[in-house]
Structure 1
Amino acid sequence: MKKRNVIILMMLAVFAFLYPLDQADAAAQTLKPGATSGDVWDLQYRLQVLGFYPYSLDGIYGNRTTRAVRSFQYQYGLPADGVVGAQTWRALRKYSVNAIELDLLARLVYSEARGEPYVGKVAVAAVAMNRLQTKDFPKTIRGVIFEPYAFTAVNDGQFWLTPDASAYKAAWEAARGWDPSSGALYYFNPNTATSKWIWTRPQIKKIGNHIFTK
């Protein structure tokens, strides 16, 4: 096995040790007003990303958090009771990211699309978000990104490069719902693509060096 492949496998092993459980597999803790557990920070961050919580994170499930939860529940067709149970957690995890997941998304953007126009960076992040919301793909950002052979940058190790500010901004905007890819689930560079299968996918548009497809 090549030395580079060994290094990549070691990085993946370290990541799996630090974050051993996908959130989709974790037991959802029911949160109610008055809660102060670590999950409240996660909740507030997700609501902030989606624009429902325009305040500083404090880890306290107070009136502001309750109003934000109810607004989210109402907009996504859930019972607007202000309680975050399993159903609300599933919706939050489907349409938002937490701080760790945003970092993963930024790494994907930087490793796959650095050098691309900014809108192309957002589009790459949007593809990951679109997969998260599609039943044929894993149910977490981590699962989407680390699905075997899903992204070249994960396979060749570039994923572990340190993202720049532009990558984080692009990841944030995609997580908030901006989708320049118009619903794409795949993308490829026609100058370097070696897969014949990717050329069979219905093409949506070209942004920079990438063609985005269904």
Structure 2
Amino acid sequence: MKKNIAIVLALAILSMGIFTAVGEAAALGHRLLHFGARGNDVKTLQKELAKEGYFTVEATGYFGPITEKAVINFQKDNRIRIDGMAGYETINELKDGNEYKNMATVNNYSKYRVNVTKEELNLLARAVYSEARGESYEGQVAVASVILNRVADPRFPNTIKGVIFEPWAFTAVHDGQFWLTPDPKVMDAVYDALKGWDPTKGAVFYYNPAKVTSYWIYTREIITKIGKHYFAK
């Protein structure tokens, strides 16, 4: 009996070690960070906070009271829900302020030459996630490309925000799915589209035949099909 208990305890300790290792190996944005968390992602969080002037000690990889206070102050100043935890909204705002701070870099590489604000980057990420979260990476880039192609087309609004919120333009905006919290990985698809990868070859419309509510879309000339979506002129 004692031997069995010892084996169970050993397995439990081993499992804890495995889960800890997995957690500590996570990249920033792949999990919710809160008081007591440890790992490389916590260390990255601290460095990002330091760039903004909220964390003034050495990055340790431990989410203690100093990190929690830094997160709270950052949330206050950026009008984010104040909870002392680093979830998607807080981390995305940090990345917007640091990693994606120089929007001119994006615009220089973008074939669209659009002026991309932090707000519009977030809107693009939400649009791609809500419209194409079940699609391949290429399919997600394609949806972002359609939005950008519309910005460049005189038939549509000339801003990302205007295109996304044009009445009845996107189902996810209409039914509320647009406000789901997007996976941070979606931002990679957004940036690839901004830098010129357009799998749709210039499409300004897309649709899933299984979800069509207006048969007018069938009058548009199809360019290509990616996943469940047809992309059209």
TM-score by length of 1: 0.59
Q: Which of 155, 160, 179 is the matching residue for 2:174?
A: 155
Q: How does 1:102-121 map to 2 (within 5 A)?
A: 102-121=121-140
Counterpart for residue 60 of structure 1: none
Q: Which amino acid aligns with 1:113?
A: A
Q: What residue number does 2:198 align with?
A: 179
Q: Residue 146 of structure 1 corresponds to which residue in structure 2? A: 165
* Aligned residue type for 1:144: V
Q: Distance in 2 between matches of 1:190 and 1:159?
A: 20
Cα distance in 1, alignment partners of residues 173 and 196 from structure 2: 24
Which of the numbers 86, 108, 132 marks the counterpart of 2:151?
A: 132
Tell me if structure 2 keeps the 8 A contact 1:122–1:170: yes
User: 2: distance between equivalents of 1:184 and 1:139?
Assistant: 16
CA distance in 2, matches of 1:187, 1:137: 15
Q: Deviations over 1:2-39 (max 9, x none)?
A: xxxxxxxxxxxxxxxx9xxxxxxxxxxxxxxxxxxxxx
Measure, in 2, the Cα distance between the counterparts of 1:186 and 1:120: 13
Question: Take 2:201 and 2:127, find their aligned partners in 1: how far apart are those partners?
Answer: 19
Residue identity in the other structure for 2:159: T
Q: In the alignment, which of 196, 199, 224 is matched to residue 205 of structure 1?
A: 224
Amino acid at match of 2:208: N
Q: How far is 1:177 from its partner?
A: 1.5
Return the index of the structure with the highest Cα Rg: 2
What is the total number of aligned residue pairs between the two structures? 135
Per the alignment, residue 11 of structure 1 pairs with none
Q: Could you say if the C-alpha distance between residues 96 and 122 of structure 1 is closer, same or farther in structure 2, counting changes exceeding 3 Å?
A: farther
For the 8 Å contact 1:187–1:210, the answer to whether it is kept is: yes
| SS of residue matched to 2:150 | helix
Give the aligned partner of residue 81 of structure 1: none
Query: What residue in structure 2 maps to residue 188 of structure 1?
Result: 207
Mapped to 1, the partners of 2:102 and 2:145 lie a distance apart of 19
Query: Match for 1:48 among 99, 102, 105?
Result: 105
Q: 1:96 to 1:123 in 2, by over 3 A?
A: farther
Residue of structure 2 equivalent to 1:7: none
| Structure 1: 4+ residue segments shifted above 3 A | none
Cα deviation for residue 51 of structure 1 reads 4.8
Q: Kindly state the Cα deviation for residue 50 of structure 1 after the two structures are TM-superposed.
A: 3.4
- Of 141-150 and 158-167, the range deviating more from structure 2: 158-167
The superposition leaves residues 83-107 of structure 1 with CA deviations (integer Å, 9 ceiling, x where unpaired) of xxxxxxxx85xx3412211110000
- Tell me the C-alpha RMSD between the 2 structures: 2.2
Q: Deviations over 1:58-106 (max 9, x none)?
A: xxxxxxxxxxxxxx9xxx9xxxxxxxxxxxxxx85xx341221111000
Which amino acid is 2:222 matched to?
Q
- Structure 1 vs Structure 2: percent identity of aligned residues? 54
